[in-house]
Amino acid sequence: MNNTTTRRAGFLFALLGCLGAAQVQAHSGSATMDEAGNKASFTALARVTCFDDGAGPAQFLVARIRDKSPAVTGLYVSLQLLKGTRATSVTDLTSGDAEYSEFATLAGGNGTYQLIINKTKAGARDFDLEWHCLTASNDHTGTEVIVDQFE
């Protein structure tokens, strides 16, 4: 396996860490962006599919991010959600604290959403990510994730 494939697999396993049970109420994962390359363009790309697993059809995807790294001036971690012609984003503006960013919420119903994580400049960042597919009544519903890129 090459280095990119190894990192992508590691990110996928981190993201899927809590998805072992069929009925999961929280979806989260941790990873480190840019462990070796130290490049500003480092980007993670995943597809999150929301579906009716018996709890009801998805109304929206919500996600938030937490930068666990020591503060570096101007170095922030951001999260974008995209589906069809709609998009939203959020940035954790306080590195190293115990708080997540606000939730980014994208109402797109059932289907596949793109989730992108990036940073504002070169430097390694340790982060946590949390995401949920929710029904109109805020109940968790079916969620699957596939990591396409982590480099």
pLDDT bin (cut points 50, 70, 90) of residue 96 is confident
The 8-class DSSP code of residue 140 comes to: B
Q: How many CB atoms lie within 10 A of CB 86?
A: 11
Q: Which range of residues forms the domain containing residue 107? A: 3-150
Q: How many domains does the chain have?
A: 1
Please state, in angstroms and as integers, the Cα–Cα distance from residue 31 to each residue in 23, 43, 57, 59, 124, following that order. 23, 12, 30, 28, 10
Model confidence at 91: pLDDT above 70: yes
Q: What is the pLDDT of residues 23-72, one digit of tens each?
A: 334 578 777 876 655 788 888 899 999 999 999 999 999 999 999 999 99
C-alpha dihedral, 117 to 139 to 108 to 148, nearest 10°: 30
CATH for 41? 2.60.120
